Structure 1
Amino acid sequence: LDNCVEFFSLAGRSLPHVAMMMIPEPWDQDANIEASKKAFYEYHSCLMEPWDGPTAISFTDGKQIGAILDRNGLRPARYYVTSDDTIIFSSEVGVLEVPDEKIVQKGRLSPGKMLLVDLEEGRIVSDEEIKQQIANEQPYGEWVQNNLVTLTALPKANTPARITGDTLLARQKAFGYTQEELTKVLTPMVAEKKDPIGSMGIDTPLAVLSDRPQLLYNYFKQSFAQVTNPPIDALREACVTSTLSYLGAEGNLLAPDESNCRRIRLSSPLLSNEELAKLASNSHLEFQAKTLPILFPADGGATELEKALDDLFAAADQAMESGHTLLILSDRGMNEKQAAIPALLAGSGLHHYLVSKGTRTQVSLIVESGEPRDVHQFAMLIGYGVDAVNPYVAIDSLLELAASEKVYGVNAKDAVEIYLRTAVEGVVKVMSKMGISTVQSYRGAQIFEAIGIDSSVIDRYFTRTASKIGGITLEVIAKEALARHAKAFLPEHSEENLDPGSDFQFRRDGEFHLFNPKTVH
């Protein structure tokens, strides 16, 4: 934050302008915010993610001195103005003794507001005046209106045919779906419109110690807020949360002009099949989309998986050179011969590869995968740098459930909308446990700890993730993916129905549980 403030002020922006663009007010859900100020914040949200930890910062360049409070107002910040023209600003009242008769004004900073003292003019500049002045420096409203593209404004496109019957069943097996997930995770997300909650504690082994093939997501645990960073209440403080995302190449931070907000605005990071089809076939030159398959040979192993990832990175470089700014990582082409690379490995690996090459901001990564379906998995993909996710197998599974009336009282179209909305609310809940209120700030933040993944995999594909112990290598990741793939496509391994699943409920032939009938007996 320090370096960034210094960098922008040396590049010619005024300090209040820098503070406003880095620690913005929660503008997108505020119906009463002034139009020019809203346009300023919207324009800058295309350029920069908000710094939104609980913070009160003060800043000065010797001519002006100011302080600003974060969007949640989770830090105390109080000030006194005295009759001898002194201003005392501190986190608590009474740090300096001041006789009551000398105090002219007492005040406190409210969320997202700024206190500014101009030493050259010798006065306190009000939050309203300074923000009004900065918001009207450029025609931000005009720029946003002419350049920002919304998803609804894109023309309709042909959606891929719905997957049904045996084809769907094969996909579900290949991605490790269980009967339990369909009935206890996906169905409640639609029927009850909230992320289902299990009872306290998990009494199954860690993924790395389990006898059954596990999805890569299960090797990571979410981190929680520590002492100085309080969690927020995502339900009651919904007005400060934001699920906005932007697609397309990022603009030039140092040259403020209208081309910087030439981006596609998404109201949520999860896409339906129709929305993805719109993006894939849009006709805008600045938003050319390229689909890159995330597949590797089903008769291969770790070397083939590694080669497939290297090929993916090379293909991404090539697509960017030819002017594509949307890269869709897709496993729709999976079949008997081609198995899917775990979406998290492909997404995070490509994100880190582009970061190391310094080209990550020129492109948006969209994952079209059948693998992610629950909140933890979506949170992980976003946390490891993916811009948007289309969980097509989860969507088609819900359509099938809705058709067979397993999801009660909801028609198929509504079922998908409710599911995606519930999943986004779940991601916001996960972010808020960490005290983060915007999806933009959560993207790429990697607020996870790996348990049981080898450092060779972490260093290359999940760079800088905390990992206290080693564990599985690419070989095991490939083996687990191929074991699921075999169940779906090789007749000798195949079973007629989906695995019943035993994560939430003990089954004799399922996952080991600490509390099993024998222990209880």
Structure 2
Amino acid sequence: MSLLCPIGPAPNILEPSSSFVHRLFLPQPILSLPDLEALKKTNHRGWKTVVLDCTYDVSAGPCGLPGALTAVCQQAEAAARAGCQLLVVTDRAASSQRLPISSLLALGAVHHHLIETRQRMKVGIIVETAEAREVHHMCVLLGYGADAICPYLAFELAFALRNDNILDPTLTDQDIYNAYQKSIETGVAKVMAKMGISTLQSYKSAQIFEAVGLNEDVIDLCFKGTQSRIGGVTLETLSKEVFERHALTYSDIRDSLVLRNPGFYHWRAGGEKHINDPMSIANLQEAATGKSASAYDKYRESALESVRACTLRGQLELVKLDEPVPIDEVEPATEILKRFATGAMSFGSISLEAHTTLAIAMNRIGGKSNTGEGGENAERYLNQDPEFNKRSAIKQVASGRFGVTASYLAHADDLQIKMAQGAKPGEGGELPGYKVTEDIARTRCSVPGVGLISPPPHHDIYSIEDLAELVYDLKCANPRARVSVKLVSEVGVGVVASGVAKGKAEHIVISGHDGGTGASSWTGIKSAGLPWELGVAETHQVLVLNDLRSRVVVQADGQIRTGFDVMVAALLGADEFGFSTAPLIALGCTMMRKCHLNTCPVGIATQDPVLRKKFAGKPEHVINYLFMLAEEVRQHMADVGVRKFQDLIGRTDLLKVRENNDNPKARLLNLSLILKNALHMRPGVNIVGGSKAQDFQIEKRLDNQLIEQCSGILDGTQKHVDITMRICNEDRAFTSTLSYHIAMKYGDQGLPDDTSININLTGSAGQSFGAFLSKGITVTLEGDANDYVGKGLSGGKIVIYPPKASPFASHLNVIVGNVCLYGATSGRAYFRGIASERFCVRNSGCTAVVEGAGDHGCEYMTAGTVLVLGLTGRNFAAGMSGGIAYVYDIDGSFSLKCNPEMVEQLPLELKEDLDVVQTLLEEFYEYTG
């Protein structure tokens, strides 16, 4: 990362000069104490460093912060104009007589002031602070313009721990610096990765944040350009807090010498409020198990208190009638329950017992459970016991991680595309290797003991067009199912949701920042994502303004726990509601937050067979809780005078800002944006979610002809059929609907061994040719094909070769597009020609032969065999945790293109390998000529 800029008078930018390379490069942004001292005293090439004291005199009183920030900005400008190269923004001078300015406020103010005065490019800014200690702190400082950071208190604390023998006393200062720098570097890289940013230079000053609870005066001075939709605390408020904290620090109160645990990550008595506090957990479990008739009332009371202390919705209240409508005129609980779903908690993150218990409970009440991206064993959806039906109605299609098969897709009511996860946007799920048992590995088509991570850019979706294609593919793979897309609550999600609706999704989940953090790293628990209240309101408003609301059903998800939460979500615009943490608590979860360690003491978030025996949850516990919650919703509906649940949706006039709010900061919030009624902005629009069907034009599909010609195969009266057709690039997801019908009859096994379908084609195939192709079908194409050939291949065989009369050499030309065989689970593919980028990404069981491949081949592959008879692009085999690839290294360049992090490169010598390659070559020659 470049820290410094040219010195002296500005050179002519059109003439190359040595001054343009007058830089100091840092390998990473964290400076040690000696490094900072060296930079403070440097005189290298005439560089000058100015130290900006970011403290102010206590005599300035409770309103001194704005003046102090202005003074620091003026000093920074003067130093830049005087030819200084380095500014050190420091709070080192804090003392009983000096109040420290927040390092972020000081940095942001200086950074933006220098931009406004055209001086920013002349200087590098170093932040020397006691405040910054965690990864997020560093990320925010870098994001608002810091070129380097010295968190001196973190280092000094580590030295003190070493001196007290709490850390290894043999550690040197340099060891401590290196360890801390490495940990911060790893954490910052993870945050950058999930934002899709590859260099720190690009991340620096990018301001990829949204403020929640900061007023315009703070934003304008320190964070110009940052979104802050609900206002909040002012500079005056922050100034008073600085003064009060300083007074408390230097008071004579003996208790001030004790550093209390603030309870940021775990609930602690006297610490920060949590939605899930021990009282609420105990009351919910007592209510769910039916031990006390009044337990739910106690739970509702304690939960509402937590909601008011912790959430945006807690700052709102319902507008109630003086005379409620009779409760027996309100829609029954059994109908309301159909709008409920459990969240996407994967088998793997939670135990099989917990996962199936949730499914049984939701099936009994007419709601839906979600597989999560961990998938589901076939026996659960093929053997549907009416009383103990363990099938999850919502099948999540995250990123092919668990091997999506034709049968898995066929046995779903909803197919949910996981674009992102609200609680930790961009990260996706993460399952440590020690939780990947043989059962889980089999379900996910992976290897036992190997950790599973969903990397940020889901490799089949790089644009809204890619997403629209996946929506279409899934609809073709299961015409009965509703296609859902899971989005993150963030500024602009309404525009994204509009694109998703235009891409013909039928259901949209808006996921909030709460929940979904059981197995997260700390960088994903705090300061990631936004409340669903903001996202649901924006999504509903934008969809209504674009007359798209009737096409999609909107679901709110994220720590919905009470009937009040459901009411607020509905009034802001949600049709359906996802519950995750609360049902787990009803099953016995005690919120130990040890999910990632595999040591859950109640057998829920563990794969340890001994601990799993401790699981005592029953479907009735979840059913009891949800019925009580639905009855609470009915009571609220009666109070506000609404009889039908559909009539609640979007009725923001039934919400108002809470009166008598005892939180002075909450009283500063401006919630008018989320309380706007969308129908006032565009009257007369249909807002009944899902009342207008998306037009997929299924009736025009070439597959319909296929299904008709294969009717004898499907009804069992025929054993073999040969079909000859011509195909064009308008024919997308060819064979996917045929595979659906086969999967519904035969499951993952596909057609019986004595039954087969041979399809011979000529022409250029459209996208997703042979997607989710079932066993027993062979498709041979004389021509070429677009992207996603054989996506999710499920046992079928695909052969593609150039037209026989074509004059070009196949091994020098591309014959299939990007992302071929993505997430394939079984089957075979033979491509005579080159495949484009991301070939066989997440292959988890298919065998493929190709004459060359673009960048990122075999990335995240977990099983299967790939033979590449030619050149590959760069980054081959990144994240490859299983399977084997044979690569013909024509020009000796392969070792430089292969990512060696998880694979070993070996010469082709073993007889068993030679036999495999020879067999594949013979088959390739036979099928493709």
Q: Tell whether 2:36 aligns with 1:276.
A: yes
The separation in 2 between residues aligned to 1:494 and 1:313, in whole angstroms, is: 37
Q: Which residue of 2 aligns with 1:510?
A: 271
List aligned pairs for 1:122-521, cutoff 5 A. 244-249=1-6, 253-301=13-61, 303-408=63-168, 411-413=171-173, 414-492=175-253, 495-521=256-282
The separation in 1 between residues aligned to 2:154 and 2:242, in whole angstroms, is: 18
Say which SS state the counterpart of residue 448 (structure 1) adopts: coil
The separation in 1 between residues aligned to 2:142 and 2:152, in whole angstroms, is: 17
Say which SS state the counterpart of residue 296 (structure 1) adopts: strand
User: 1:245·1:268 contact (CA, 8 Å) conserved in 2?
Assistant: no
Q: Which string of whole-angstrom CA distances, capped at 9 and with x for unpartnered residues, describes residues 331-365 of structure 1? A: 11111010110000000110000111111101111
User: 1:290·1:328 contact (CA, 8 Å) conserved in 2?
Assistant: yes
Assess, with a 3 A threshold, how the Cα gap between structure 1 residues 473 and 302 changes in structure 2: closer, same or farther: farther
The separation in 2 between residues aligned to 1:420 and 1:299, in whole angstroms, is: 38
Q: Which string of whole-angstrom CA distances, capped at 9 and with x for unpartnered residues, describes residues 467-499 of structure 1? A: 111000011212222333223222237522212
The separation in 2 between residues aligned to 1:249 and 1:338, in whole angstroms, is: 35
- Alpha-carbon offset, residue 466 of structure 1: 1.2
- Alpha-carbon offset, residue 517 of structure 1: 1.4
Letter in 2 for 1:246: L
The separation in 1 between residues aligned to 2:125 and 2:222, in whole angstroms, is: 15
Letter in 1 for 2:116: S
Q: Which residue of 2 aligns with 1:123?
A: none
The separation in 2 between residues aligned to 1:452 and 1:493, in whole angstroms, is: 33
Q: Which residue of 2 aligns with 1:107?
A: none
The separation in 1 between residues aligned to 2:136 and 2:224, in whole angstroms, is: 20
Q: Which string of whole-angstrom CA distances, capped at 9 and with x for unpartnered residues, describes residues 136-182 of structure 1? A: xxxxxxxxxxxxxxxxxxxxxxxxxxxxxxxxxxxxxxxxxxxxxxx
Letter in 2 for 1:388: A
Q: Which string of whole-angstrom CA distances, capped at 9 and with x for unpartnered residues, describes residues 437-490 of structure 1? A: 111111100000000000111122100001111000011212222333223222
Assess, with a 3 A threshold, how the Cα gap between structure 1 residues 255 and 410 changes in structure 2: closer, same or farther: farther
User: 2:49·2:84 contact (CA, 8 Å) conserved in 1?
Assistant: yes
Say which SS state the counterpart of residue 248 (structure 2) adopts: helix
User: 2:56·2:99 contact (CA, 8 Å) conserved in 1?
Assistant: yes
The separation in 1 between residues aligned to 2:34 and 2:78, in whole angstroms, is: 27
User: 2:130·2:151 contact (CA, 8 Å) conserved in 1?
Assistant: yes
The worse-fitting range, judged by mean Cα deviation, of 356-365 and 403-412 is: 403-412
Q: Which string of whole-angstrom CA distances, capped at 9 and with x for unpartnered residues, describes residues 100-122 of structure 1? A: xxxxxxxxxxxxxxxxxxxxxxx
The separation in 2 between residues aligned to 1:378 and 1:388, in whole angstroms, is: 9
Say which SS state the counterpart of residue 213 (structure 2) adopts: coil
Count of equivalent residues: 278
Assess, with a 3 A threshold, how the Cα gap between structure 1 residues 429 and 449 changes in structure 2: closer, same or farther: same
The separation in 1 between residues aligned to 2:257 and 2:231, in whole angstroms, is: 37
The separation in 1 between residues aligned to 2:14 and 2:233, in whole angstroms, is: 43
The separation in 2 between residues aligned to 1:407 and 1:247, in whole angstroms, is: 36
Letter in 2 for 1:389: I
Q: Which string of whole-angstrom CA distances, capped at 9 and with x for unpartnered residues, describes residues 316-337 of structure 1? A: 1222232211011111111101
- Alpha-carbon offset, residue 500 of structure 1: 2.2
- Alpha-carbon offset, residue 417 of structure 1: 1.7
Say which SS state the counterpart of residue 111 (structure 2) adopts: helix
Say which SS state the counterpart of residue 29 (structure 2) adopts: coil
- Alpha-carbon offset, residue 406 of structure 1: 2.1
Assess, with a 3 A threshold, how the Cα gap between structure 1 residues 322 and 284 changes in structure 2: closer, same or farther: same
Letter in 1 for 2:136: H
The separation in 1 between residues aligned to 2:69 and 2:63, in whole angstroms, is: 10
Assess, with a 3 A threshold, how the Cα gap between structure 1 residues 425 and 249 changes in structure 2: closer, same or farther: farther
Letter in 1 for 2:187: G
The separation in 1 between residues aligned to 2:109 and 2:100, in whole angstroms, is: 15
Letter in 1 for 2:155: I
User: 2:2·2:26 contact (CA, 8 Å) conserved in 1?
Assistant: yes
User: 1:372·1:391 contact (CA, 8 Å) conserved in 2?
Assistant: yes
- Alpha-carbon offset, residue 303 of structure 1: 3.8
Q: Which residue of 2 aligns with 1:194?
A: none
Q: TM-score, normalised by structure 1?
A: 0.51
User: 2:143·2:207 contact (CA, 8 Å) conserved in 1?
Assistant: yes
User: 1:245·1:265 contact (CA, 8 Å) conserved in 2?
Assistant: yes
The separation in 2 between residues aligned to 1:355 and 1:430, in whole angstroms, is: 26
C-alpha RMSD over aligned residues: 1.8
Larger Cα-atom Rg:
2
User: 2:264·2:272 contact (CA, 8 Å) conserved in 1?
Assistant: yes
User: 1:487·1:493 contact (CA, 8 Å) conserved in 2?
Assistant: no
- Alpha-carbon offset, residue 277 of structure 1: 0.6
Deviation above 6 Å: which 4+ runs of structure 1?
A: none
Point out where structure 2 has 5 or more consecutive residues left out of the alignment: 283-929
Letter in 1 for 2:139: A
Assess, with a 3 A threshold, how the Cα gap between structure 1 residues 419 and 468 changes in structure 2: closer, same or farther: same
User: 2:6·2:21 contact (CA, 8 Å) conserved in 1?
Assistant: no
Assess, with a 3 A threshold, how the Cα gap between structure 1 residues 412 and 301 changes in structure 2: closer, same or farther: farther
Assess, with a 3 A threshold, how the Cα gap between structure 1 residues 303 and 485 changes in structure 2: closer, same or farther: closer
The separation in 2 between residues aligned to 1:329 and 1:360, in whole angstroms, is: 14
Letter in 2 for 1:456: D
Assess, with a 3 A threshold, how the Cα gap between structure 1 residues 494 and 327 changes in structure 2: closer, same or farther: farther
User: 1:486·1:493 contact (CA, 8 Å) conserved in 2?
Assistant: no
The separation in 2 between residues aligned to 1:373 and 1:272, in whole angstroms, is: 13
User: 1:247·1:266 contact (CA, 8 Å) conserved in 2?
Assistant: no
User: 2:131·2:151 contact (CA, 8 Å) conserved in 1?
Assistant: yes
User: 2:63·2:239 contact (CA, 8 Å) conserved in 1?
Assistant: no
The separation in 2 between residues aligned to 1:316 and 1:509, in whole angstroms, is: 41
User: 1:293·1:330 contact (CA, 8 Å) conserved in 2?
Assistant: yes
User: 1:402·1:415 contact (CA, 8 Å) conserved in 2?
Assistant: no
User: 1:248·1:287 contact (CA, 8 Å) conserved in 2?
Assistant: no
Assess, with a 3 A threshold, how the Cα gap between structure 1 residues 420 and 285 changes in structure 2: closer, same or farther: same
Q: Which string of whole-angstrom CA distances, capped at 9 and with x for unpartnered residues, describes residues 245-303 of structure 1? A: 32244775433211111111111111000000111111224421011100122354564
With CA pairs under 8 Å and 6+ residues apart, which has the higher RCO, 1 or 2?
Answer: 1
The separation in 1 between residues aligned to 2:145 and 2:53, in whole angstroms, is: 18
Letter in 2 for 1:377: H
The separation in 1 between residues aligned to 2:116 and 2:133, in whole angstroms, is: 29
- Alpha-carbon offset, residue 409 of structure 1: 7.2
User: 2:94·2:100 contact (CA, 8 Å) conserved in 1?
Assistant: yes
Assess, with a 3 A threshold, how the Cα gap between structure 1 residues 402 and 409 changes in structure 2: closer, same or farther: closer
List aligned pairs for 1:11-160, cutoff 5 A. none
Letter in 1 for 2:4: L
User: 2:2·2:201 contact (CA, 8 Å) conserved in 1?
Assistant: yes
